[in-house]
Homo-oligomer: A and B are copies of this chain.
Amino acid sequence: MASLPDRMRALLLVNEGYSRMPSGTALEAMSPYVERAEIEVPEPGPTQVLLKVSLASINPSDVMFVKGMYGQPRRKGRPAGFEGVGEVVAAGSEAAAQGLVGKRVAFATGLSNWGSWAEYAIAEAGACIPLMDEVRDEDAAAMIVNPLTALAMFDIVKQEGQKAFIMTAAASQLCKLLTGVAAEEGYRPISIVRRDDQMGLLKEIGAAHVLNATASDFADRLRDVLGAEEPRILLDAVSGPLAGQIFTAMPKRARWIVYGRLDASDTVIQEPGQLIFMHKKIEGFWLTEWMRNTPLERKVATIKEAQTRFADGRWSTDVTAIVPLDEAIDRVADELAKPNGKVFIVP
């Protein structure tokens, strides 16, 4: 690959390790956490590939990571970005890596510490998914983290046995994917949002109920819907008082599964007695843990299902903005604050 440059532009982590000050997972600004700089193009290890990034996605997990609130320490001076789409332009010595050279792949950078918010990124060969031509870059760049989280959490819902389940931040890309799959299989998503203009779309794609948590009659509507549907699973990206209120209103054997923390205010267990007498539980979900504990064939099948859904149009990623890497520091926080779609970085 004689055409590879020595240096590249990238958005580098400004801080090391974890944050000492817990906060919400909303991004107030990029500049406290990443900076634009030029660094050397990295070299892949034996099992890794080097990717020329076409498009990188910004997930809530990226925001938690750059803020030091993710389950993996930051390395100062390395590019951020867990996910993207690109072409494999170099590979390590192992066959699995070599076999990917020249292919267009969706990739997750995982623990490589060479993230996707850069002209070039590093990923393990096993974390690259060769793409069908039908899959758009916007879908491919967001094909791993959200879709796999959605499908893995839907597995939890299916194992619990109740058709109805609840989601907070239900207008997120992740929840929209999950809503579509669940409705297709006869499940009844109860979608909690904060804006009336999000309600119509969610009903269209399969939500059984959509409730606006800021409405004055929210508590009453919540009680009625929970009474009728008896959901046991709360998939919660928000935490804080809203999630606590929903959990308290849920019936016996409810499970509150936290996977994000958009609200930085205190998360109170309003009725600890319900843990004792109603057998309720509070736990978390992390895709990395799911990847560790799930058999390979199940993972492969899940990834294939995700790609097929994007290829045949059942799933599609809503785009809020595609921001050039050189403008990212100034623009990304504002774009992320807009509802309903995903924000991408193009190098």
Contact = CB atoms under 8 A, between A and B. Distances in A.
A110 to B, nearest CB: 15
A269 B286 contact: no
A239 B70 contact: no
A273 B278 CA distance: 24
Contacts of A268: 266-269
A258 B274 CA distance: 10
B285 A276 contact: yes
A172 to B, nearest CB: 16
Q: Which 4 A-B pairs have the closest CB atoms?
A: A71-B277, A275-B284, A276-B284, A282-B282
Nearest to A25: B273
Nearest to A285: B276
Contact of A277 (B22, B70, B272): B70
Interface of A: 22, 64, 69-71, 239, 258-261, 266-286, 289
Contacts of A273: 22, 64, 69, 71, 261
A286 B277 contact: yes
A54 to B, nearest CB: 30
Number of copies: 2
Contacts of A282: 269, 275, 281-283
Nearest to A257: B275
Given A269-B282, A275-B283, A277-B284, 8 more contacts: A22-B270, A22-B271, A260-B276, A266-B266, A267-B269, A276-B285, A279-B284, A280-B284
A289 B279 contact: yes
A222 to B, nearest CB: 18
28 contacts: A22-B270, A22-B271, A22-B273, A64-B273, A70-B277, A71-B276, A71-B278, A239-B269, A258-B272, A258-B275, A258-B276, A259-B276, A261-B272, A261-B273, A267-B268, A268-B268, A275-B282, A275-B283, A275-B284, A276-B284, A276-B285, A277-B286, A279-B286, A279-B289, A280-B283, A280-B284, A281-B281, A282-B282
